[in-house]
Chain A
């Protein structure tokens, strides 16, 4: 069975509602942020990214908001669907260039049909 994701914060959302998943980051020098989605038994998949010179970026049904003042990142999913049920991770790059991503602990999104 799936052991990844135990003890994670969980967000339960009704199908069709909007979801907001939050992430706090610690390093004010971080210049690049990514949201990943991980379904059960699979590797993380890229959703959307944002650079530190932006405060908002939109994709298909998803929006990422960046508040550098309070070092906060959020992922908004519009019209949440059952297929959105997964664990969502934010990641930051703490220095410019080809440096490793640092991942948060993740949030489990559970969509109630």
Chain B
């Protein structure tokens, strides 16, 4: 298994640009989530999904959209990037009450 994969690894955007951060898992996990990590702030939940076709907001959802059309994929969309969205983004997945696995992260800079 590849586990949780994320692309791209690094990205630089200009303010106002849009982009999609990709996340995929091959463990047949029904639960997937997106976090952002900023210095001194720990990991903050953006959006999560408990299964295909179901998404919900986390702690900091503003400025981000998600969809879950398949079990494997959970893309995170930034419709109009802002400098405040400069961060490291982590996708994670788990099955039921089991261990949550994290991807390697995407480092995003918005100028």
Report which A residues bind B (CB closer than 8 A). Answer: 3-8, 32, 34, 36, 41-46, 49, 89, 91, 97-98, 100-106
Given contacts A43-B103, A100-B33, contact A8 B58 (CB under 8 A): no
Task: Assess whether A43 is in contact with B105, with CB atoms less than 8 Å apart.
Answer: yes
Does residue B31 face the partner (Cβ distance < 8 Å to A)?
yes
Does residue B78 face the partner (Cβ distance < 8 Å to A)?
no
Q: Hey, which chain A residues are within 8 Å of B53, CB to CB?
A: none
Task: Assess whether A100 is in contact with B48, with CB atoms less than 8 Å apart.
Answer: yes
Q: Hey, which chain A residues are within 8 Å of B101, CB to CB?
A: 46
B window 60-91: CB within 8 A of A: 88, 90
Q: How large is the interface on B (under 10, 10 to 19, 20 to 34, 35 or more residues)?
A: 20 to 34
Report which B residues bind A (CB closer than 8 A). Answer: 4, 30-31, 33, 35, 37-45, 48, 50, 58, 88, 90, 92, 96-97, 99-105
- Contact pick for A7, options B40, B43, B97, CB 8 Å: B40
Listed by A's residue number, 10 A-B pairs whose Cβ atoms lie within 8 Å are A6-B39, A43-B90, A43-B102, A44-B102, A46-B99, A89-B42, A89-B43, A98-B50, A100-B48, A105-B42
Q: Hey, which chain A residues are within 8 Å of B38, CB to CB?
A: 4
Task: Assess whether A101 is in contact with B100, with CB atoms less than 8 Å apart.
Answer: yes
